[in-house]
Structure formats: structure tokens, C-alpha cells
Amino acid sequence: MKPVADVVLSPPFNLSGFHSGSLRPPSPSFAGIQSLDWQLARVAQEKFDAYWATQKPTFLPPDIYGRFKEAWLDLGAGTGGFFLELSARHPDILFVPVERCKTRGKTLARRTKKFKRDNFLGIRGNVVAHIASAIPAASLDRIYILYPCPWVKNSQRKNRWFLHPIMPHIVRALKPGGLLVWASDQRFYIEEARYVCGKKYPLEEISFGPLAPNEINLLADFPQGRTKFEADFLGQQQPCFELIVRKNAD
């Protein structure tokens, strides 16, 4: 039977903001688990994979990810300011911000041309196509998903990244030991992402809870916010939340 509505999960947060340990999904007694499991069962993975197997989008040369010490991807990067700043500090790391929005994507493309840094390659385009068809397996050391559209309506939840058929490809693109860094102003989004990452994927929880500086999220280097959305939320003293998971070694 189809669940009639989303119900927010409410597992307790780790209030320290940083901890390590195995990712343990909330108990099935938590409301909303049935709804998430139902949606996971409906993901049209085979159809999605079959389509993208026939597509050959041109973004970056596949071997470029191996030319640097590390490679990081920002999924939905806006104008790319976060990675632009990092690229100046870490010339041995490849930073690939991708943005689909026409306005923000144009700004990102202009910044790439203006600064002409070998390790900053902004892409205006469909990140789904980029991940599904243009990134070899085990190529990325970090993937950031910062303040994505939460798709709050029940009818829209299939578009949430962790319920989208692109999610297995996101995990595939990570190297063993690679990090997937989520942040949102929507607590339910992070809680649901935590449940799905723990239930379905070989991902170990590193951090979960209210957003606070730690050795991975780089917030200490960007106290005003890593993105425009984050800066706005923090400026308004609006609570934000994060999930950081690590891909298990093969």
C-alpha cells in the first residue's frame, strides 16, 4: 500500500557535531521508514542505467581525475565560490563544481575562464549526466551536496538525491575511503539521507547532526558560510544540519 504522506524521522542527533562509527539506520519503529522503503523500492534503476549507458556527454576528459593528488566534486555548486577559494589554497587538488541553473551556471563558467586555474574546472550543465556517464568509477575523493532543493512535497520526494537513481552512481564515483558531505537547513532531509545511506549503501557515518565546524567540513575556514545559502541561513541564525559519510574500502 502506498504511504499517504511523508513523516519526518526523528532520531537523536549527535550534539557534539562530530563522531565516528558505523552508520546505524534509525529503528524501524520510527515513523516514516515505511514511506522511505516504499520509495526506494520504486526507483527505476534499470531504466535509468540503460538510458545513460547510451549517452556520451562531453564534460571533462575522463583521465583528468587521476592527474591530481585528489579530486573533489560540488554537486549543485551555484556560482562556485566555495571551490574557487579552495582551489587557490590547494593547487594539488582538482575542484569540479557543477551547476545546472542558467544564471548561476553562466557565472560559474565565467569564473572558470577568468581565473584560468588548472585545478578549477567549473561546469554549467546537468550534474546527473556528468555523474552517470562522464566520471569513471572510484575517481573522486569528496563529493559535496550542500543545501540541495529538499523537494518537500510528498509527490516530489523521488527527486531528493538519496532517492534518485543517480545515487548509486554518486557512490560509485567515490574512491574507497572517499567522503560524501551533505548539508541542509531541512532537518528531515538530513535524517532521511542518513537512513538511506545506512540502509542501502556501503557508507560509514562520520558526522551527523547540527552543523558545527569539524576537521572535514571546512566550516572553520568559512565561518560566514561555504555557500550563499549557508551564509544566509547562518546570518539569520537558522539551524542547519549535516551528514558526512565515508565509502567503505572494497
* pLDDT above 90 (res 30): no
Q: How confident is the model at residue 25 (pLDDT cuts 50, 70, 90)?
A: very low
State residue 219's pLDDT score: 95
State the average pLDDT for the chain: 87
Mean pLDDT, range 190-214, rounded to an integer = 95
Integer Cα distance of 243 and 180 in angstroms = 8
Q: What's the CA gap between 171 and 191, in Å, rounded?
A: 18
What integer is the mean pLDDT of 128-143? 93
What percent of the chain shows pLDDT beyond 90? 76
The grid coordinates listed for 141 are 575523493
pTM of the predicted model, to two decimals? 0.86
The residue type at 19:
H
Higher per-residue pLDDT: 54 or 95: 95
Q: What gap in Å lies between CA 194 and CA 19, rounded to an integer? A: 14
First to last CA, the chain: 37
- d(CA 180, CA 142) in angstroms, rounded, equals 6
Q: In whole angstroms, what is the distance from residue 58 CA to residue 60 CA?
A: 6
Residue 15 predicted with pLDDT over 50? no
| 150-196 confidence digits (pLDDT tens) | 999 888 999 999 999 999 999 999 999 999 999 999 999 999 999 99
pLDDT of residue 134: 87
Number of alpha carbons in the 13 Å side-chain half-sphere of residue 151: 14
Grid cell 519526518 is found at: 8
